[in-house]
Amino acid sequence: MQLVTEDNITELAARRWSSAHDPRTAQVMAALVRHLHAFAREVRLTEPEWMAAMRWLTETGQISDDKREEFILASDVLGLSMLVVQMNHAFDAKATPATVLGPFHIDGSPEKEFGGDMSDGLPGTPLYVTGTVRGLDGSPVAGAILDVWQADEEGAYESQIPGIDEARLRAKYATRPDGTYCLRTIAPKGYSIPMDGPVGELIGGTDISHFRPAHVHFLINAAGYEPLITHLFQEGAEYLDSDVVFGTKQELVVTFEARDPGPTPDGGEAAGSWLEARYDFVLQPV
């Protein structure tokens, strides 16, 4: 019989979980047990606190569905998602850094031509994002696919608006033979993460800002290169230094230059004023 004490329970539990048949699962579970126990010992976790944590986890599961990923949001605000991204995408210093995917990417966005408008007449200041996709040696990458998505002026993503049956503020663009791309959209605004669930309840009891700075999301795929999940952030935007999900990086901050009515980068003509963000993405070879 194995008698349990406060002193030996951690080793007993870790050893038991080391019996997982898959070696990596055994390693991860034993370490999880050790760190969980160390955490409980450090804070001298009480029974009411343990019960509150169990209730919080239950509610986090209950509010989640195929459109709402509250556990991922929890991981994001704890900085875990961004830590995992950084450990697993340690690119060359010259490559564009990766950031979190976030919960609002939708597969199967429509393909648009060079300069195509992914805002489809939604209210907002016109924004052209232009540049070249390159390899580490500076050579242009032809045929890279930029999958782009963002929130509207109210901070809402397509999946947060009920009853939408066509793509909203998302599209795919291919780079031309010289590696260049051009997309038209509306200027993004900073927005709050969903605060009506267990994550919001936790954050509401702190001084943590629940906002993200204005940004556009990119997922770039090109043959021979690592997929790049990243964002571009507007220089000078509010919340750049307090992003609630720790997704901001200096290399991803870009100036949105104000432009007068006149020629636009897609060869068109703007009747009103507009913004231009120029950015060259640099991909990490496989």
Task: Tell which residue, 170, 227, 200, has the closest CA to residue 73.
Answer: 200
> Which residue in the shown chain puts its C-beta closest to ligand BEZ?
102
How far is Cα 132 from Cα 149, in angstroms, rounded to an integer? 18
How far is Cα 176 from Cα 140, in angstroms, rounded to an integer? 9
Q: What is the bridge-based pairing of β-strands 126-134 and 281-282?
A: parallel
How far is Cα 258 from Cα 94, in angstroms, rounded to an integer? 28
Segment 209-228, which members bind ligand BEZ (CB under 6 A)? Answer: 212
76 scored as a contact of ligand BEZ (CB under 6 A) = yes
Segment 179-208, which members bind ligand BEZ (CB under 6 A)? Answer: 193
85 scored as a contact of ligand BEZ (CB under 6 A) = no
Near ligand BEZ by CB under 6 A: residue from 14, 245, 277, 283? 245
How far is Cα 110 from Cα 102, in angstroms, rounded to an integer? 20
The alpha carbon of residue 23 and the mean position of all alpha carbons in its chain are separated, in whole angstroms, by: 30
By C-beta, is 193 or 252 nearer to ligand BEZ? 193
User: Which two structure tokens, joined as six digits, stand for 251?
Assistant: 């290399």
Shortest CB 100 distance to ligand BEZ, Å: 5
Which residues 6+ apart lie within 8 Å of 55 measured at CB?
none
Shortest CB 244 distance to ligand BEZ, Å: 8
What is the per-residue binding string for ligand BEZ in 98-137, x denoting contact by CB under 6 A? --x-xxx---------------------------------
Size of the site for ligand BEZ (CB under 6 A): 9
148 scored as a contact of ligand BEZ (CB under 6 A) = no
User: Which two structure tokens, joined as six digits, stand for 205?
Assistant: 């009891």
Near ligand BEZ by CB under 6 A: residue from 14, 30, 33, 73? 73
Residues lying near ligand BEZ in the complex (CB under 6 A) are found at: 73, 76, 100, 102-104, 193, 212, 245
